[in-house]
Amino acid sequence: MKMGPIHKTRKPKHDGAALLRRDRGEAAAPAPAPAGSGGVGTVWVYAVTPGLDPERRPGLTALTGVAGEPVRAVTESGLSAVVGSLGDENSGGTPLSSLLVGLTAIETTGRAHHDVIAHLAMDVPVVPVRLATVYPDDTTIRVLLAERHAELTVLLDSLRGTQEWGVKMYLEPWADGAGTYWP
C-alpha cells in the first residue's frame, strides 16, 4: 500500500494568499488590463519574500513558472512578490484555464509552482502562496504588499531559519497474500 507524504511543518497562522487579499473575505477583483498592455494578461503569484536586492533578481531569470514564463520580482515596501506573467490565447501566451484542466495538467502546474517556491526557499525566508493565486497586474500586487506589509513581515520573520521536511512511507503487502496490513 502506498501512503501519501507526511509533513511535519510549522503551520503559519495565515498563508500568503490570504494576506494578499484586499479584505479578509474576498479575493481581489480582477481589473481590466492597463491601456497599452498588449492584451489581457494575468500575474501568477508564487511567494512573498523579503525584498530581493537587485543582485539577487537576475537569478530569478533562470527560473521558469507554471507556463514556462520567466519568473520575476514585484517589490514594494521592502517585500517582494515572486510572480510570472501569463498571457491569453490571443496574445500568444498560455491561458490560465489550460493550466488547471485535468489531473495531469494540475499535477504539472502544481509541481512547477512548488519548484519556484523551493528554489527561493534555499536562499531566503518564503511565504508560499496557494496554487492559482492570480491578479490582473503588478500594480495590484504592489498595493497589496503595502497594505499587508506588517503581517507579511511578521510571518516572514517567524519562518526565518526554518525548513520543511517531507517523509513518504510505503508498505509492502504480506508475503502470504492475506491482504491484511495492520494487526
pLDDT digits (tens, 9 = 90+) for 49-75: 998 876 666 567 788 999 999 999 999
Distance from C-alpha of 118 to C-alpha of 115, rounded to nearest angstrom: 5
- Find the angle CA(7)-CA(131)-CA(6) to the nearest 5 degrees: 10
Number of neighbouring beta carbons within 10 Å of residue 172:
7
Percentages helix, strand, coil for the chain (3-state, rounded to 5) are 30, 20, 50
pTM above 0.85, yes or no: no
Distance from C-alpha of 17 to C-alpha of 46, rounded to nearest angstrom: 9
Distance from C-alpha of 34 to C-alpha of 125, rounded to nearest angstrom: 32
pLDDT of residue 166: 76
Number of neighbouring beta carbons within 10 Å of residue 15:
16
pLDDT digits (tens, 9 = 90+) for 134-154: 999 999 999 999 999 999 999
Please check whether residue 169 is in contact with residue 1, taking contact to mean a CB–CB distance below 8 angstroms. no
- Each residue of 103-119: b (16+ CB within 10 Å) or e? eeeeeebeebbeebbeb
pLDDT of 97 over the 90 cut:
no
